[in-house]
Chains A and B, each alone.
Chain A
């Protein structure tokens, strides 16, 4: 159950696009399409924004998209807005456990 690897921080200007990577292993990300992404603002509960690699829950902006290649999943955010500034966590589900990444702080400059 090793944590997934995310960059500690990323930044971008309003209107730009950014990508956050999430690297796992053959035993988690690489084996199933069960990657999810969460957005967390300070003092708030995490919010699901992507599940099963690339699906958006109802109500989540189309500016958020997910993908996967091999052992690495990615979250892309287009048209950055000030409200996107938050922590982002990836997660991978396997048969009997869930593992999170260490989180990435997104700063909107």
Chain B
């Protein structure tokens, strides 16, 4: 079935880096744009970044621009999010989601990133 599975989260100190992965299965990954979205505990959704199906275009939320990098490897059906210079406010559950029309129709369960000294 269509599935997205995130990994790579953990507890990290401020200023450190982390790379999140999102493994896709059950659909033609290379045909879809992909998003990263984060959600803080008990709070709402925040869009983080989007990448086109072929990786040709990437866009970021102002809050992460310059620190986060979205990328993909279509040969591995995997989406990535490189997070540098982590801040306490980056603490969240990070989910990947498939771009469908102008929305997100398939979501992963997320991987938790906790930034703490």
Q: Which residues of A contact B (CB under 8 A)?
A: 1, 3, 32, 34, 36, 38, 45-48, 51-52, 55, 57, 89, 91, 93, 96-103
Contacts and interface: CB of A to CB of B under 8 A. Distances in A.
Interface of chain A, main secondary structure: strand
Contacts of A1: 61-62
Interface of chain B, main secondary structure: strand
Given A99-B47, A100-B45, A36 B104 contact: yes
Nearest to A51: B103
A34 B102 CA distance: 6
B105 A45 contact: no
Given A96-B59, A101-B44, A48 B102 contact: no
B46 interface: yes
Contacts of B47: 91, 97-100
A52 B44 contact: no
A58 B105 CA distance: 11
Given A52-B102, A89-B44, 16 more contacts: A1-B62, A32-B102, A34-B103, A36-B103, A45-B107, A46-B97, A47-B107, A48-B100, A57-B100, A91-B45, A96-B59, A97-B61, A98-B50, A100-B45, A101-B44, A103-B44
Contacts of A57: 100, 105
Nearest to A43: B109
Contacts of A52: 101-103
Contact of B45 (A32, A46, A47, A51): A46
Interface in B83-109: 95, 97, 100-105, 107-109
B13 to A, nearest CB: 28
Contacts of B44: 3, 89, 100-103
A60 B37 CA distance: 22
